[in-house]
Amino acid sequence: MQPFDTVIRNARVVTAADTFTSDIGIRDGRIVSLGLDLPPGHQEIDAAGRHVTPVASTATCTSTSRLATAR
């Protein structure tokens, strides 16, 4: 198995069906693994206490709304 580019640790993952605590393994810009105690990645992010909402997008998905970002 190839190493992950990034592992987000201790995330509170929120999906349409469930909410759970998990590590998130990312490779080539895509989520490729969810689970606890994933192997290390080149970059590690601690998301303890934060919610993560994976979003799927397609070529037909468009939005005209603006997102607010914290500074």
> pTM of whole model > 0.75?
no
Question: Does any domain span residue 42?
Answer: yes
| Domain coverage including residue 20 | 4-52
Long-range contacts made by residues 31-39, C-beta under 8 angstroms, separation at least 24?
A: 32/4, 33/4, 38/4, 38/7, 39/1, 39/3, 39/4, 39/7
- 14-38 average pLDDT score: 94
Residue 40 has pLDDT above 50, yes or no: yes
Q: How far is CA 43 from CA 3, 4, 9, 52, in A?
A: 10, 8, 11, 17
The CATH number of the domain holding residue 43 is 2.30.40.10
> Which pLDDT band holds residue 32 (cuts at 50, 70, 90)?
very high
What is the predicted pLDDT for the residue at 71?
A: 47
Could you tell me what percent of the chain has a pLDDT over 90? 66
Domain for residue 43, yes or no? yes
The pLDDT value given to residue 51: 94
Question: In angstroms, rounded to a whole number, what is the distance separating the alpha carbons of residues 64 and 61?
Answer: 11
